[in-house]
Amino acid sequence: MKEQIQKILEKIRPSLQMDGGDVELVDVDEAKGIVKVKLMGHCAHCAMSQMTLKMGIEAEIKKQVKGVKEVVAV
């Protein structure tokens, strides 16, 4: 599961980097279905970061990886 998520983040990363941000995979709790990521750069302080996290990153991961229930920023 972790490798699948990493590949998805690699596809999302260029879009974030264009706006001066980035994302890093911190942890995957496969038993609970929780993915922890760290938003960096402009994404860490952006007012739209929760929308980016939930409607962008989380939506894409949940669509492609069975068992993921939530993506949270740490």
Per-residue pLDDT of the chain (74 residues; tens, 9 = 90+): 999 999 999 999 999 999 899 999 999 999 999 999 999 999 888 888 999 999 999 999 999 999 999 999 99
Rg over alpha carbons for the chain, rounded to the nearest Å, is: 11
Q: Which of 71, 39, 38, 74 is nearest to 55 (CA)?
A: 71
Q: How many CA atoms lie within 13 A of 18 on its CB side?
A: 4
For 2-73, CATH gives: 3.30.300.130
Rounded-to-10 torsion of CA 14, 42, 49, 73:
90
Q: Where are the domains of the chain?
A: 2-73
Specify the pLDDT at position 26. Answer: 98
